[in-house]
């Protein structure tokens, strides 16, 4: 063991969160609230006291394990998950559900353990714990849709773990080491580990677990879900695949394609799920570019995304809590009864849209600057389009249809969100503005010192022009009645393959098998009937072999048979 710091955090930085999860299962009332608020604070204090370079090592079957590795990257993500957990706990204080409380802290603890894991086997253990604990935040909704979504979610998450384990075995068998450093696609098992990370990152065609499950989770559960899984995956990509060129193309596709689905989507939490894929796409591009500036941008944007996306998820969760509705076609006019929630939602919308002085601007601009510096002009143009798109569907659509579009039937009886929800949203909103205004507080935590400063005239003017034209486009489309209406429907993209095609194919196969079975049964019964009738002719009550034969006739037949035997014997 090297380095210093408190013994507890050296052994397991996630220990306070896991202990909090256990204790919250046996306490209630104000004591449970105290435990849940104290766990992330204690964990963050432990990380603050840890020193970069600290290692905790062990040995298993001759292989060196590093359950805890402390460096600037793991420290930043450790702070992030404790911060997100603290805000999420405040947001959920009104909830009286032991399952959600235990699952939320255990889920966050698994994420902290994963980002401090120094070897692939330890990473795998926490990787699977994340899957098993997070699924309860979806099941806790206790609806048929939530159950179906949770099972599909679990299959994808466990499948990611299986790929990670298989890749780890191949990697270790060739290299003789389980150390989790840069892996790359050329390493044995590298592609399997890459796909495992890709599933949790919501790569295209592997992303539907996110858009399927997150909108079906509980209002508070979605806040935790949005903060953890994809950000752990980004951490893993930064650690293992920085500079892998294919990530640039994957990231560009992720940043662009969700825009079209988000525009036509009616469920506003599902819109935010697509928006999450869009934002993760920016991070993946940064990882793919792989320069110090790009990696700083990817990590910083992951940090900021947890805050502003969490704020948007919390605002929509508050709307769901008050109205029980999440379809944009059914909402509207709620600013009259929920003005504080509406203002906080608009802060989140400005942040995700990368308005100057909000935190999305100070991280997204790093990635786009890195693309220009590395002469990825077409990538920069694609990200510019994606930036306009996210302002269109998350920056404008979410607050507009939830709070302003028209007076819905919920306006008469709506009320402001509970106080604890407002406090949590306010903390997130202050962080959005604080980091956006004073970005050096975040930049000082980043892995590399690049001397980057976002507030130069070209960056600010270009972003303001982009946002202005995007707002004008939305306004014109609405006034011209061209903007897609909020339809009472469910839109399927790649999940159509396993939610429509696969079930229909299985039904057809089962129908064919049933027909074959019926045909086989029919012919089998016919053959058995013929056999039965044949036996009856000979052995039945009136059959040939059932008759009474005279002794003389029997002697005659025996003599004939003996005679034939003698003839055959001699000839």
pLDDT tens-place values along the chain, 571 residues long: 444 444 555 568 999 999 999 999 999 889 999 999 999 999 999 999 998 888 888 877 777 889 999 999 999 999 999 999 999 999 999 998 999 999 999 999 999 999 999 999 999 999 999 999 999 999 999 999 999 999 999 999 999 999 999 999 999 988 778 999 999 999 999 999 999 999 999 999 999 999 999 999 999 999 999 999 999 999 999 999 999 999 999 999 999 999 989 888 889 999 999 999 999 999 999 999 999 999 999 999 999 999 999 999 999 999 999 999 999 889 999 999 999 999 999 999 999 999 999 999 999 999 999 999 999 999 999 999 999 889 888 888 899 999 998 888 999 899 999 999 999 999 999 999 999 999 999 999 999 999 999 998 888 888 888 888 888 877 777 777 777 666 666 677 776 676 677 677 777 787 777 777 777 777 777 777 777 676 666 555 555 555 555 666 666 666 676 777 666 655 5
> In 535-561, which positions are buried (b, 16+ CB within 10 angstroms) versus exposed (e)?
eeeeeeeeeeeeeeeeeeeeeeeeeee
CB 417 within 8 A of CB 321: yes
List the one residue out of 203, 214, 292, 218 whose CA is nearest residue 248: 203
Distance of CA 465 to the CA centre of its chain: 33
What is the C-alpha to C-alpha distance for residues 252 and 567, in angstroms, rounded to an integer? 95
Instruction: Give the position of tokens 């996630």.
Output: 14
CB 323 within 8 A of CB 331: yes
- Tokens for 530? 């013929």
Give me the pLDDT at residue 5, please: 42
CB 17 within 8 A of CB 40: yes
Residues in the chain: 571
What is the C-alpha to C-alpha distance for residues 106 and 39, in angstroms, rounded to an integer? 11
> In 13-43, which positions are buried (b, 16+ CB within 10 angstroms) versus exposed (e)?
bbbbbbbbbebbbebeeeebbebbbbbbebb
Backbone angles phi, psi at 28, to 5 degrees: -155, 170
List the one residue out of 90, 93, 110, 3 whose CA is nearest residue 41: 90
- Tokens for 420? 């604890």
Q: Give the three-class secondary structure for 239.
A: helix
CB 135 within 8 A of CB 154: yes
Q: Is 416 exposed, middle or buried (0-12, 13-18, 19+ CB in 10 A)?
A: middle
Distance of CA 176 to the CA centre of its chain: 32
Give me the pLDDT at residue 345, please: 96
pTM exceeds 0.95: no
Whole-Å CA distances, 347 to 132, 308, 344 = 33, 8, 5
Residue 449, Ramachandran bin (φ over 0: left; ψ between -120 and 50: alpha; else beta): beta
CB 244 within 8 A of CB 290: yes
Distance of CA 423 to the CA centre of its chain: 26
Q: Report which DSSP code applies to 179.
A: B
What is the C-alpha to C-alpha distance for residues 254 and 282, in angstroms, rounded to an integer? 8
Instruction: Give the position of tokens 């306006």.
Output: 411
Residues 189-246 pLDDT 10s: 999 999 999 999 999 999 999 999 999 999 999 999 999 999 999 999 999 999 999 9
Measured between its terminal Cα atoms, the distance across the chain in Å is 99
Instruction: Give the position of tokens 């944007």.
Output: 301
What is the C-alpha to C-alpha distance for residues 535 and 538, in angstroms, rounded to an integer? 5
Whole-Å CA distances, 464 to 281, 304, 387, 391, 438 = 22, 20, 11, 12, 19
Helix ranges (DSSP H) in 116-245: 120-139, 144-175, 190-201, 208-213, 219-241
What is the C-alpha to C-alpha distance for residues 441 and 438, in angstroms, rounded to an integer? 6
């Amino acid at each position: 063991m090297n380095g210093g710091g408190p013994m507890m955090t050296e052994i397991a930085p996630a220990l306070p969160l896991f202990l909090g999860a256990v204790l919250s299962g046996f306490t209630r009332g104000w004591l449970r609230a105290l435990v849940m608020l104290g766990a992330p604070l204690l964990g963050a204090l432990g990380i603050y006291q840890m020193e970069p370079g600290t290692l905790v090592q062990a040995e298993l079957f001759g292989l060196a394990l590093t359950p805890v590795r402390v460096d600037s990257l793991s420290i930043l993500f450790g702070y992030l998950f404790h911060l997100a957990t603290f805000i999420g706990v405040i947001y959920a204080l009104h909830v009286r559900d032991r399952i959600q409380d235990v699952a939320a802290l255990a889920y966050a603890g698994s994420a902290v353990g994963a980002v401090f894991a120094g070897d692939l086997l330890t990473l795998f253990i926490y990787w699977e714990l994340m899957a098993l604990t997070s699924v309860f935040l979806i099941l806790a909704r206790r609806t048929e849709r939530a159950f179906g979504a949770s099972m599909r979610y679990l299959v994808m998450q466990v499948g990611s773990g299986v790929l990670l384990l298989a890749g780890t075995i191949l990697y270790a068998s060739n290299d003789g080491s389980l150390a989790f450093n840069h892996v790359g696609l050329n390493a044995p098992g590298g592609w399997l580990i890459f796909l495992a990370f890709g599933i949790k990152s919501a790569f295209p065609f592997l992303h539907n677990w996110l858009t399927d499950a997150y909108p079906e989770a509980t209002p508070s559960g979605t806040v935790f879900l949005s903060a953890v899984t994809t950000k752990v995956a980004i951490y893993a990509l930064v650690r293992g695949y920085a500079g892998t060129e294919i990530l640039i193309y994957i990231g560009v596709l992720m940043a662009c394609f969700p825009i079209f689905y988000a525009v036509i989507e009616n469920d506003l939490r599902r819109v935010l799920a697509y928006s999450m894929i869009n934002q993760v796409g920016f991070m993946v591009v940064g990882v793919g570019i792989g320069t110090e500036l790009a990696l700083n941008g990817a990590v910083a944007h992951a940090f900021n995304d947890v805050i502003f996306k969490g704020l948007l998820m919390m605002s929509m969760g508050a709307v769901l809590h008050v109205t029980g509705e999440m379809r944009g076609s059914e909402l509207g006019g709620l600013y009259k009864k929920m003005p504080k929630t509406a203002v906080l939602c608009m802060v989140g919308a400005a942040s995700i849209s990368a308005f100057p002085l909000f935190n999305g601007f100070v991280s997204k601009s790093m990635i786009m600057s890195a693309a220009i510096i590395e002469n990825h002009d077409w990538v920069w143009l694609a990200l510019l389009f994606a930036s306009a798109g996210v302002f269109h569907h998350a920056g404008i659509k979410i607050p507009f249809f939830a709070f302003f579009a028209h007076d819905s039937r919920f306006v008469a009886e709506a009320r402001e969100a509970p106080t604890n929800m407002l406090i949590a949203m306010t903390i997130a909103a202050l962080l959005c503005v604080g980091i956006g205004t004073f970005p050096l507080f975040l930049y000082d935590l980043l892995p590399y010192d690049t001397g980057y400063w976002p507030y130069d005239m070209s960056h600010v003017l270009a972003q303001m022009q982009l946002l202005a034209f995007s707002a004008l486009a939305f306004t014109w489309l609405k006034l011209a009645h061209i903007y897609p209406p909020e339809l009472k429907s469910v839109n399927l993209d790649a999940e159509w393959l396993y939610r429509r095609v696969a079930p229909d194919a299985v039904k057809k196969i089962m129908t064919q098998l049933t027909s074959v079975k019926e045909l086989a049964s029919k012919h089998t019964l016919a053959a058995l009937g013929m056999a039965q009738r044949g036996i009856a002719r000979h052995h039945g009550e009136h059959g040939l072999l059932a008759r009474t034969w005279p002794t003389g006739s029997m002697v005659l037949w025996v003599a004939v048979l003996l005679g034939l035997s003698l003839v055959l014997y001699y000839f």
